Structure 1
Amino acid sequence: AVVQEVKKSDAKGTEVWLAAAGFRVQYADTPEKADHLQTMTQRKLTSHQRGDKVYYIYADALSCKCLYIGNEENYQRYQQLMIQERIADEQRMTAEMNMDAAMNWGLWGPFDYGW
C-alpha cells in the first residue's frame, strides 16, 4: 500500500528525512539487486506486511540506486519530523510576512518606476 508519494524534486530531501528517522539504506550493489529495485514502486513510501510486522519501503532506482527500509517506529519518527518541518516552514513564512509588514512601504513613497 502506498503511504506517501514523493515528487522527484523532493526525493533528496525525503531521503535525508528517512535516514534521520532511522530508516536503513540498502544499496543496489549487485546487478540482481539493481534489477529488482527497478521493479519496485519508485519514490513512494509503501507499507509491506511480513509476518506480524509492518515495514515501510522507499525505493529510488534513479538517484541513490538504493532502498530505505524502516519499521513502525521509524515511520512514526519520520511523520513527526515532517510535522516539525511543516511547522518550521509556517513559522518562517510568518516571520517573513511580519518583516515585510514592518518595512512600512508607504513611508518610502510610490513604487511606479516601470518595474
Structure 2
Amino acid sequence: MIGRWTTTLASLALAATVGLTGCAAIRHSQALDREQFLAAAGFRMELADTAERQQQLAAMPPYRLTSRATGDGIEYAYADPRNCQCVYVGGPKEYAEYQRLTRERQLAQEQIWTYENPWTWGGPWW
C-alpha cells in the first residue's frame, strides 16, 4: 500500500514539475519575442549594471510594459530581470511603433490561421 502511494506521489510531483517547466519555457519564449519587438520599435536597452539599477529593476513588475509620467511626457518601460537583467525604455513614438509591429504580427498570424483552417461558414461537418 505504501509503495503504491509513493509511486502515485512521485508521478504527481513529476507531472507538476514537467508542467511548470513547460510554462516557464513558454514565458521565456514570449519574453524574448516581446524584447525583439521592443528593440525593433526603437526602445533602448538599459542594463542593470550597478547596485542602484538592480534595485530599481527588482522594484519593477517583470515582463510588463508599464508607463509613467515624467517632466517631458510619458515614458514606457519593460523590465526583464531574468534574461538580460535590463529595462527597455521608450517614449510615445517608440510605443506607437511597438503597437504597430504587434498589430502587424497579429494580422499575419490570423492570416496563417485562416489559410491553415479553410472551413466554410457551416463548419467542418457541413
Alignment coverage as a number of residue pairs: 94
Alpha carbons of 1:36 and 1:52: their partners in 2 closer, same or farther (altered >3 Å)?
Answer: closer
1:27, distance to aligned residue in structure 2 (A): 0.7
> How far is the alpha carbon of 1:90 from its aligned partner?
0.5
Runs (4+) off by over 4 Å: none
- Conserved? CA contact 1:8–1:43, under 8 Å: no
Aligned mate of 1:67, from 87, 99, 105 = 87
Answering whether residue 79 of structure 2 is matched by residue 50 of structure 1, we say no
Structure 2 residue aligned with 1:4: none
Q: Which has the higher contact order (CA 8 A, sep 6+)?
A: 1
Q: 2:44 aligns with which of 24, 49, 57?
A: 24
**Within 2, Cα distance between the matches of 1:52 and 1:22?**
18
* Residue of structure 2 aligned with 1:96, choices 116, 119, 124: 116
- The CA deviation string for residues 13-59 of structure 1, in whole angstroms up to 9 with x for no partner, is 00000000000000111232122211112111011111141010001
Taking the aligned partners of 1:32 and 1:8, their CA distance within structure 2 comes to: 27
Residue number among 36, 46, 61 corresponding to 2:56 in the alignment: 36
- 2:38 corresponds to 1:8: no
Could you tell me which amino acid in structure 2 is paired with residue 95 of structure 1? Y
- The structure with the largest strand share of the pair is 1
RMSD (Å) for aligned C-alpha atoms: 1.9
TM norm structure 1: 0.75
Structure that is richer in helix per residue: 2
